[in-house]
Structure 1
Amino acid sequence: MRSSQGFDFRCGGVLIKDDYVLTRAACVVDGTKDDYQVVAGTISINPTTNNKNEQLRFISKILFHNHFNKKTYEHDVAILKLENKIKLSKVTQVIKLPKPHENPNKGNLDQFVVGYEYLYSYGLQYFEGHVTFYENKLKYYFNNRDKGAIMSADVCVEKSGDGYKLIGFSNVGEISLVSLDVDWINNNIVDNPSKANIQSYYQCFKSCYEEFVKTMTD
């Protein structure tokens, strides 16, 4: 994600649906939807870079977690609803979300932090390592194998099957797990919430009616 006024890097994010991006709430809480742009399918957010896979999208709405705390960074997630869908391809894919309250796989050595290095290369970089839970702090941290710099607001993922699964977002090494907010995320990226509600009401009415008929005939 970059500033709409140029190629200033803002924060990393992941595609959770072809028209929804998940990022840190702290990255967008002080702006509006018109202050940011989403760039997908490229390793550079410089607008002068010629990349045939690059897709630029404007944001139509920003959804903040209703329990987001700006001071403590609790529930530090926000959903960006895009004006137009991203075209999925080999270089642009939807990431897998963890199960609710799922912890990172301790035995998975294929864990990475992916971030944008904006000081020198203006390009995407990734660091190999593993996520560790520190009991004295009751927090998760990413241990970088190469001991390189970890930028703030990076994306932490692990290999899962043929793709990748999101662990959370890294803020200078500290990982905020997305699994705590998966239910909220899924509830806010449905295609048609009103239709889903109608369907659930219908199912409830149907089961209640069937139960009523059963008691009358018994």
Structure 2
Amino acid sequence: MDDKKATVIKLASTTAASSTALSLIPGDAAMPIANEIAELATYFIVILGSILLEKILIAVVGYVSFTFIIPFSCLLGIFYLYIKKEVLRNLAIKLAIFGIIIFIAIPISIQVSDLIYDSYQASIEQTVEIANQNKEYIEEKKKDLSEKDQNWMGKIEDYLSDLTSKIGIDISEMVKKGEDTLTTFLEAVAVLIIISCVIPIVVILIFAWIIKILFSFDSNGVSTILGKR
């Protein structure tokens, strides 16, 4: 999770730098792309928040399971030995299994997302490299354009049209690099959202479904247990 956190922070900083570089291109041709890249920061915040939440849940769920749920199930088991109420034994077993399941659900969900992350890690790192290369290319082209602008007054009038044409081509190339950068960022964001947000939720929902099917932890099951009491 620390590796994923570092990757997300690196991507977020790269998007900020790329957006800034695109926004400084002469004219407004690259502004829509720069704005789209800047808006990706929101998604990176969500991804980073989900990673931090998973880290917190690992500690909190384990604490709750072994401090409250499982000890309470043991207490119910002790009461069953004296009272001999079948409902207490059933509830103690269900609570113990429930505590163990929720304790292992979070680590398993993180492990599944890590397996997917490992297969896409090279692609995500390549995204950062491509974005940095495009940013450097844009900055070099902007530097060239600046030098051309400074020397423009000293140019002969016959070369004015040629100079304008070259500037237009350079701007078009920079915009194309910006489009490529946006595409790679979108792919990386989609992968990270699936890895950090979707997969853990799906795994937890699967565990919740298993608990509901096997141990009847729904409103009807609770009502039945209370009725037996």
Using structure 1 for the length normalisation, give the TM-score. Answer: 0.23
Structure with higher Rg: it is: 2
Q: If each structure's helix is expressed as a fraction of its own residues, which one has the higher value?
A: 2
Q: If each structure's strand is expressed as a fraction of its own residues, which one has the higher value?
A: 1
Higher RCO (CA 8 Å, separation ≥ 6 residues): 2
